[in-house]
Amino acid sequence: MTNIGIILGSTRPGRVGHQVAEWVAKHGSRHEGVDVEVVDVKDYNLPVFDEPQSPLLGSYTHPHTWHWSKKIAEFDGYVFVTPEYNRSIPSALKNAIDYLYGEWNNKAAGFVSYGSNVGGARAVEHLRLITAGLQLAGVRTQVSLSLATDFAAFTTFTPGDRHDTMLRQLFTEVAVWADALAPLRRP
């Protein structure tokens, strides 16, 4: 089985991202050969990066970092669920990503975004650059959701059927890339 972590990047009160992450996980669990788990950045209570050494060394001093490291290392690939904040990703997601290095390497990444303008596509463009620096292979297909058309009153997620095909394709790409990269991952 290919283990895919659904990384929920928004931590703010009143967020709608948990609805999107659960929808992504539901679709992912239907994908043959794939196990999924939602990983909510909010649950890890990571302070602003506070490790004294670079994550490149993998020498962590804080329990919260070890806890986060252990969880992220479990997966073969990821689907990041992110809103667009000021044409980028939330600071909590960037902070969580920056805590680690080797745990991300040689794995696949897919992207599901949401926002009021262009469905969060600009956040994904930033996230693609960030994940490339971590040796994550970003897949081509992405799902972009509009707060205006895919959420009732901007708060209740009501995705159209048109997104199902894209999400299936995204999971296919993430699973195939994750499996192809498996020989490169450290034991």
Structural domain including 171 reads: 2-182
Rounded to 5 degrees, what angle do the CA atoms 20, 25, 26 make? 100
Counting every residue written for the chain, the total comes to 187
> Residues 83-91: what's their mean pLDDT?
95
* pLDDT band at residue 74 using 50, 70 and 90 as cut-offs: very high
* Lookup result for tokens 């073969």: 76
Do 112 and 127 touch, CB atoms closer than 8 A? no
Task: Give how many domains the chain has, as a whole number.
Answer: 1
Tokens 């050494």 belong to: 53
For residue 140, tell me if it sits in a domain: yes
Q: Tell whether 155 is covered by a domain.
A: yes
Dist. CA 78–CA 90, nearest whole Å: 17
Q: Is the pLDDT of residue 113 over 70?
A: yes
Instruction: Assess if residue 187 is contained within a domain.
Output: no
Beta strand 107-115 with 77-83 is parallel
Cα dihedral 157, 119, 33, 183, rounded to 10, equals -150
Q: What is the mean pLDDT of the chain?
A: 95
Give 133-166 pLDDT, tens digit per residue.
999 999 999 999 999 998 888 899 998 888 999 9
Count of beta carbons in the 10 Å neighbourhood of residue 48: 8
Nearest to 147 by CA among 156, 137, 135, 136: 156
Strand partners, 77: 4, 108
> How far apart (Å, rounded) are the C-alpha atoms in residues 138 and 153?
32
Residue 32: band (very low, low, confident or very high) from pLDDT cuts 50, 70, 90? very high
pLDDT in tens, 158-184: 988 889 999 999 999 999 999 999 999
In this predicted structure, the answer to whether residue 187 has a pLDDT above a threshold of 70 is no
Section 67-81 average pLDDT: 98
Residue 77: burial class (beta carbons within 10 Å; 0-12, 13-18, 19+): buried
For residue 25, what is the domain's CATH number?
3.40.50.360
> Which carries the bigger pLDDT value, residue 186 or residue 179?
179
Which pTM was predicted? Answer: 0.96
Token pair of 140 as six digits: 């081509």
pLDDT on residue 186? 66
